[in-house]
A and B are shown apart, each in its own frame.
Chain A
Amino acid sequence: MDDRTRQLIYQLIDGAISPEDFDRLQDAMEADEEVRQEYLLAVHLNESLQEIAETEWDSAANVEEFPGGHSSISITKNENKPAHLLSSPANWQVPQWSLAAMILFLVGGIAYWFGQQNAEPSLLSVMDQETEQGVEPLISGHASLRRSLALRWTAGTPSYREGDVLQAGKLQFEAGVAEIDLFCGATLIVEGPAHLVLESDWSVQVIEGRLRASVPPAARGFVIKAVGSEIVDLGTEFALEVGEEDARLEVVDGEVELRGGDHDGQLLTTGQRQWLKGTPKASERIRSLSTLADVQSRRASAQQARLAEWKAYYQILRNDERLIAYYPIADSRIERVVPNAAATGGDFDGHLVGSVNRTEGRFELESTGLSFERPGARVRTRIDGEFQAFTFSCWVKIDGLDHRYNALFMGDGYENGEPHWQIRDDGRLMFSIMVDDTKDVRYFNAIDQKVVKDAGLHRVYLTEQMWDLSKSGQWFHLAAVYDPANRRVLQYVNGEKISQEPIRDDFYVSTLRIGPAEIGNWGQPFRKSPWFAVRNLNGTIDELAIFNAALLPQEIHSLFEKGKPLGY
């Protein structure tokens, strides 16, 4: 399409088109599909930019001159708009809720929506900040949940997993033990039932619960608020118990100052106790509160128990006749081989290539995982045969999504019927099967500035965003089910279905294959050029199973339940 027509489209978009030009543009649109497509994309782009601009810029904030000084445009910028408004597809709907609200009002039922909001912490905690050097991601929060033991979060309050960044607000659980690292350096071991309010990196309010606080010198000044008093830690360890009837404090080691309330100004030193509420009872010490070492050793034995349960399960699972290949990496110790534990045997073993590191698996020190953080790291395998369906299941810890596409399991040549399973840089899972590698897709290549051919007809099934930087280092169970018989593709995270899409006729494949393939990377050793796409996963995989069947939702759930490490 010529530049003149393109210019007309922009004149229309900008409201600067003459009636004659508008006619000219309509003639072109009527005659040419390409012009219509260009118009649609241009308006779509324009509207999207508008939404982004509205979110990002705020006329009330700082006014600066446009850099370079070649105009007098006033630019205002609001610095703290969360980037999830930019990066997650959900945000595109935000300004439009007014319409739904209108309809709701019409028929009456506001409560319906509020009923739909859940208390789970969502992917709201990451944003990007524009700096001189570019965009820097930020994470919001004041502490992290380092370890936990049998935590049962109170319904209707935020629930967190090990490794989660904790946001300001309620931390409430009915049972279990949580080890919380505040960003100031203080550590709390809290035993349930407990009800805390996290206020900042430096301050926590205790409404109910028993806890032990360790405050290293760097965290001096850390404050716990309870029963109208502030407990200011002067570099110590102390225990606190707040119940309905009474509340008391005991200094295990060091010094603590009380501020406000009845005990304002009081200093307590090692071994001293103070009742903050209720009647003091003689010489009663705070009951055996857990120490860090306790939590650690209880956790280690609970983790060992989990590992033992999983080992028992995998001995059963490996005999599942539907398995094409099964790599229970957590249990493998052989140097450069990842044995296939399924009945299909050694032919389908995986082989470590390049700098794959054996590292801690999901059962921590008790198990191993494979880390693919270096670009050359890969596990190669070759799985011949024809299959009727696929279920892929794996445990993965993602440290970062460094590339546009980050590989989980990839068929080498991506020929007909071969799978690609990967994670896109925006945290969405992608699953696809090559439908027809003889068909060419033509598209404009911005790098070469020309239309190029690309091989293959296929469809990428994408999920919603399931990962962002705040989830870095956490283990996830992922599964993808390709079910040609029922014409659908399902994807799961931690045993829960997050996406289901129909297989349209033009993307239907009945005979599936794998052939040469890789775990954690996409090497294409059969390619005809020295260049290869960088898709290694910056993360760790510790179990991968491939079934020649479409597993049922309850089976996927069971894979997650039976395989989950402590803290899920």
Chain B
Amino acid sequence: MDQEQIPPRKSAAHEQEAKYGEFVSLLARHDQSIRRFIRLLLPTREGVDDVMQETALECWNQFAQFTPRNPEDIAGDFIRWACVIARYKTLSWQRDRARDRLVFRESIVERLAQTSMQELDQREQERTAIQGCLQKLSSEERRLVLSVHSPGESIARIAEESGRQARRLYSQVNYLRKVLLECVRHQVTQEIGHG
């Protein structure tokens, strides 16, 4: 008996729709990772939205060529694939604006992209660790370190407002950032070390 099954015939539109659904689901689930990757290649937040948008559209245009290497880690493969596109889009975005904005040298972007690609898996762990570390601060410290990031606030503005306390405030925030950074590093490596 012929054991081979005849695949059900699908219309091109149907296939396109399925492919589209797959793409949207992957992108929606992982656009945060891709966006973060882009942010890390740029010296400031400026341009992240633009590059992300261009990356997303380029990903969709090329999605037909996306073939996961490892069927058990499609998500990981998708993120890595999209990050390659994102790196390229970041470089070309920077090139267009190099004259009037703060941008990294191309060699730096390349190196950051390389290091960042190796650490993609780690980002999620770091995110969780950040939550935990933040909880370890006293509520005053937590408030201070977060107030810097509250909408409409910035270190410069807070420093301006607080006048003579500016320097002290700045160094306090920087101290807390250092504490958080060490804590995150510790938690992540401990997880690798103590599972």
Contacts and interface: CB of A to CB of B under 8 A. Distances in A.
Contacts of A109: 17, 20-21, 24
Nearest to B52: A99
A458 B36 CA distance: 27
A54 B20 contact: no
A76 B146 CA distance: 11
Contacts of A385: none
B100 interface: no
B84 interface: no
A156 interface: no
A22 interface: yes
Given A40-B40, A42-B177, A135-B135, A30 B108 contact: yes
Nearest to A42: B181
A454 B187 CA distance: 13
A462 B169 CA distance: 38
Interface in B55-106: 56-57, 60, 70, 72-73, 102, 104-105
B182 A444 contact: yes
B31 A100 contact: yes
**Size band of the interface chain B makes with A:** 35 or more
A73 B147 contact: yes
A16 B156 contact: yes
Given A57-B151, A68-B140, A96-B32, A44 B123 contact: yes
A36 B70 CA distance: 29
Interface in B128-169: 128, 130-132, 134-135, 139-140, 143-156, 158, 161-163, 165, 168-169
Interface stretch (A87-95, A173-181, A251-259, A373-381): A87-95
A92 B127 contact: yes
B146 A47 contact: no
B24 A71 contact: no
Nearest to B105: A26
Contacts, number: 224
Nearest to A490: B72
A16 B56 CA distance: 31
B83 to A, nearest CB: 13
B134 A52 contact: yes
Contacts of B183: 446
Interface string A430-453: 101000000001011111000000
A426 B128 contact: yes
Contact of A36 (B115, B132, B145): B115
Contacts of A53: 146-151
A545 B29 CA distance: 35
A313 interface: no
B130 A48 contact: yes
B126 A44 contact: yes
B28 A41 contact: no
A14 B153 CA distance: 11
A281 interface: no
Given A40-B119, A103-B56, A501-B73, A45 B193 contact: no
Interface stretch (A4-12, A263-271, A319-327, A335-343): A4-12
A29 interface: yes
Interface in A462-504: 462, 487-488, 500-502
A331 interface: no
A89 B128 contact: yes
A48 B148 CA distance: 12
Contact of B115 (A33, A87, A113, A135): A33
A212 B135 CA distance: 45
A41 B181 contact: yes
Given A52-B134, A456-B193, A502 B154 contact: no
Interface residues of A, number: 88
Contacts of A458: 192, 195
B195 A420 contact: yes
Contacts of A501: 72-73
Given A53-B146, A99-B52, A501-B72, A444 B185 contact: yes
Interface in A517-556: 533
B162 A444 contact: no
Nearest to B155: A14
Contacts of B144: 66, 73
A52 B31 contact: no
Interface in B6-46: 17, 20-21, 24-25, 27-29, 31-32, 35-36, 39-40, 43-44
B73 A443 contact: no
Contact of A443 (B116, B181, B190): B190
A54 B72 contact: no
A441 B189 contact: yes
B31 A443 contact: no
B131 A86 contact: yes
A37 interface: yes
A41 B156 contact: no
A127 B188 CA distance: 24
Among A52, A426, A533, find the residue whose CB has the most chain B CB atoms closer than 10 A. A52
Contact of B44 (A15, A48, A92): A15
Contact of A92 (B32, B116, B140, B194): B32
B151 A26 contact: no
A89 B108 contact: no
A75 interface: yes
Nearest to A100: B28
B32 A52 contact: no
A56 B186 contact: no
A14 B154 contact: yes
A533 B155 CA distance: 40
Contacts of B36: 44, 47
Contacts of A286: none
A280 to B, nearest CB: 56
A443 B129 CA distance: 15
A39 B40 CA distance: 8
Given A99-B31, A103-B57, 15 more contacts: A10-B174, A10-B177, A16-B156, A22-B43, A22-B102, A30-B108, A41-B181, A41-B185, A52-B131, A53-B146, A53-B151, A56-B146, A99-B28, A460-B192, A500-B72
Interface of A: 6-7, 10, 12, 14-17, 22, 26, 29-30, 33, 36-50, 52-54, 56-57, 59, 66-68, 70-73, 75-76, 86-87, 89, 92-93, 96-97, 99-100, 102-104, 106-107, 109, 112-113, 116, 130, 134-135, 405, 420, 426, 430, 432, 441, 443-447, 454-456, 458-460, 462, 487-488, 500-502, 533
6 contacts: A15-B154, A26-B104, A40-B116, A48-B130, A92-B32, A460-B192
Q: What 10 pairs between A and B have smallest CB-CB spacing?
A: A443-B189, A454-B193, A100-B28, A53-B149, A460-B195, A432-B195, A71-B162, A57-B150, A50-B149, A446-B186
